[in-house]
Amino acid sequence: MAVEIGHICKKSRILYSFELGKEDCLVISWYENLGIVTVDDKQISPDIKTTLILLGKHKIELNLNYVELEYCLIKGKKMSKVLQKDFYILDSIAYKKVNYFFSSIYSSLTKYKTCDIFMNSSSVYRFYSDVIHMNIDKDNKKSLLVKKAVEHIEDHFKEDICLDDICESLGYSKYYVLHVFQEVMELSVHDFIA
């Protein structure tokens, strides 16, 4: 696994591009109006404080215009087990979680002189599961169950959480909650909490 991290702050117009491989993941976030973003020859018009997450083979071009952005390119780490889609656009609602993601990477670099420890930690999976949580299908009963389970975990995170408490709050059996959580999140309840 290789990780490339960058922070770009330009007051002039530049063109920047990324080519992603089959097992690559790119998290890119900007804090000012960007201009034109092209992903696989499709133009999107992002807002201020937008984050893109791309998984697998993609080509992205950024036509930057007076912008500040951060990116993290993870090469050779399969994230398909965690992410359900290969393309996410997060708006400003996710800004705090994205900001925490980048802060944690920089903190890991400062403390350990590498970000491999952070990239292999549950914090990365928690970030991606938060992404899934924000993009959950509101009409799907299984997705709603997982959303409620995640909310319960987040509300009681400082307490000693056990599966029995989660299942009791949801009104479902352990087996069903474990099965649905694993199916939707592609991550066990235990791994999510850890």
Instruction: State the DSSP string of 53-81.
Output: EEESS-EEEEEEEEEEEEEEEEES---TT
pLDDT of 44 over the 80 cut: no
CA distance 141 to 54: 26
Residue 112, judged by CB atoms within 10 A of its CB (0-12, 13-18, 19+), counts as exposed
CA distance 26 to 115: 15
Cβ distance 18 to 64 under 8 Å? Answer: no
Out of 48-57, 76-85, 101-110, 158-167, give the one with best mean pLDDT.
158-167
Name residue, tokens 């995170």: 157
CA distance 29 to 77: 20
- Which residues on neighbouring strands pair with residue 37, listed in sequence order? 44, 62
For the full predicted model, state whether its pTM sits above 0.75: no
pLDDT of 60 over the 70 cut: yes
Mean pLDDT computed over 141-158: 80
Mean pLDDT computed over 144-167: 83
Domains in the chain, CATH or no CATH each: 2-122 (2.60.120.280), 141-193 (1.10.10)
Average pLDDT of the residues of the chain: 77
pLDDT of 124 over the 90 cut: no
Residue 142, judged by CB atoms within 10 A of its CB (0-12, 13-18, 19+), counts as middle
Q: Which residue has the higher pLDDT, 128 or 72?
A: 72
**pLDDT tier for residue 10 given thresholds of 50, 70 and 90:** confident
Q: Is the CA virtual torsion 81, 5, 48, 98 positive or negative?
A: positive
Q: How far is CA 159 from CA 36, 130, 133, in A?
A: 45, 20, 21
pLDDT of 138 over the 60 cut: no
pLDDT of 121 over the 70 cut: no
Cβ distance 128 to 192 under 8 Å? Answer: no
Q: How far is CA 53 from CA 16, 21, 86, in A?
A: 16, 14, 8
Cβ distance 87 to 55 under 8 Å? Answer: yes
**pLDDT tier for residue 46 given thresholds of 50, 70 and 90:** low
CA distance 165 to 175: 14
pLDDT of 132 over the 70 cut: no
How large a percentage of the chain has pLDDT more than 90?
Answer: 8
